[in-house]
């Protein structure tokens, strides 16, 4: 199942007691439409305030309803900030997370001198002029396979900090500056720390290269964690 959602009012994807989450809303909708308690397997766990243009999950069901009817039924009962736009049958051993071959994130920065009310909660407002070509040059140094400990928030429990970044770039679209990164996987808050580091380097708050920060494996050498509002899970890749 493929969906998109506005993460502004969610405490992330994963179910949490007494909190509004995307997983909980989707499970309640499936219960209403299919009459089953679904055990969802997700491609990722987005944090509070993070959005998704493409998010994938899977579940087993005994329902015989056609997939197009499932989409229509779920969208009829889901809240306005979640929409399903794809649904298909997969092999019995398919897993949305473990079969995922990579993800692409986009981070949006509103680079207008005055704030934009239509992007409040959907982009970071950064009023100082941004040299996107300089940021793009910095961002290219993220490409490769490295231990990204410097770009991981505390509390991460994964066994390996090594990830591969296939592509990383910064471009401008009018007053929007867009940071895009495609990799095989990402650590806790990794993309937001990457963005915060680039902006700190741009402002002269960090006087060393991205490569030297990566090599240090020291979170204190990297920049601030950019706010969640500008982050979007943009694409999820499978075979």
Query: What are 179-198's pLDDT values in tens digits?
Result: 999 999 999 999 999 999 99
- Tens-place pLDDT, residues 168-179: 999 999 999 999
CA distance 67 to 60: 13
Say which DSSP state 145 is in.
E
Alpha carbon separation from 78 to 24, 84, 192, 218 (Å, rounded) = 11, 9, 29, 42
178, two tokens: 């867009």
Percentage of the residues of the chain whose pLDDT score is greater than 90: 95
pLDDT in the model for residue 154: 83
Percentage of the residues of the chain whose pLDDT score is greater than 70: 100
> What's the whole-model pTM score?
0.95
Residue 106: its H or E element = strand 102-110
**Any idea which residue has 């998109």 for tokens?**
4
CATH code, 102-237: 3.30.70.660
User: 4 vs 63, which has greater pLDDT?
Assistant: 4
pLDDT in the model for residue 43: 96
Rg (CA), the chain: 19
Domain boundaries, the chain: 2-86, 102-237
Least confident stretch, 11-20, 192-201, 227-236: 11-20
Q: Identical fold at 2-86 and 102-237?
A: yes
Which of the residues 6, 47, 99, 184 is marked catalytic? 47
In the chain, where does DSSP find H-type helix?
Answer: 22-34, 67-77, 132-139, 190-202, 210-216
CATH code, 2-86: 3.30.70.580
* Residues present in the chain in total: 239
CA distance 23 to 28: 9
Could you tell me what percentage of the chain is helix, strand and coil, using 3-state DSSP and rounding each to the nearest 5?
A: 30, 25, 45
Catalytic residue check, 173: no
Q: Using the predicted structure, report yes or no on whether residue 116 has a pLDDT greater than 80.
A: yes
For residue 79, count other CB atoms closer than 10 A to its CB.
Answer: 16
């Amino acid at each position: 199942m493929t969906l998109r959602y506005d993460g502004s009012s969610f405490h992330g994807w994963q179910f949490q007691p007494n909190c509004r989450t995307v997983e909980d809303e989707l499970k309640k909708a499936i219960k209403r439409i299919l009459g089953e308690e679904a055990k969802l397997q997700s491609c990722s766990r987005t944090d509070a305030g993070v959005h998704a243009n493409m998010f994938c999950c899977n579940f087993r069901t005994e329902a015989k309803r056609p997939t197009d009817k499932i989409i229509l039924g779920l969208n009829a009962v889901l809240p306005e900030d979640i929409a399903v736009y794809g649904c298909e049958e997969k092999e019995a051993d398919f897993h949305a997370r473990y079969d995922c071959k990579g993800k692409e994130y986009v981070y949006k920065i509103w680079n207008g001198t005055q704030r934009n009310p239509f992007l409040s909660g959907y982009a970071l407002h950064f009023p100082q002029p941004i040299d996107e070509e300089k940021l793009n040059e910095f961002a290219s140094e993220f490409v490769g396979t490295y231990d990204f400990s410097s770009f991981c928030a505390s509390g991460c429990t994964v066994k390996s900090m090594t990830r591969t970044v296939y592509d990383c770039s910064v471009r401008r679209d009018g007053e929007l500056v867009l940071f895009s990164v495609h990799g095989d996987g990402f650590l806790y808050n990794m993309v937001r720390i990457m963005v915060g580091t680039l902006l700190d380097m741009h402002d002269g708050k960090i006087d060393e290269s991205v490569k030297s920060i990566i090599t240090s494996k020291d979170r204190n050498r990297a920049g601030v964690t950019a706010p969640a509002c500008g982050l979007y899970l943009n694409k999820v890749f499978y075979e």
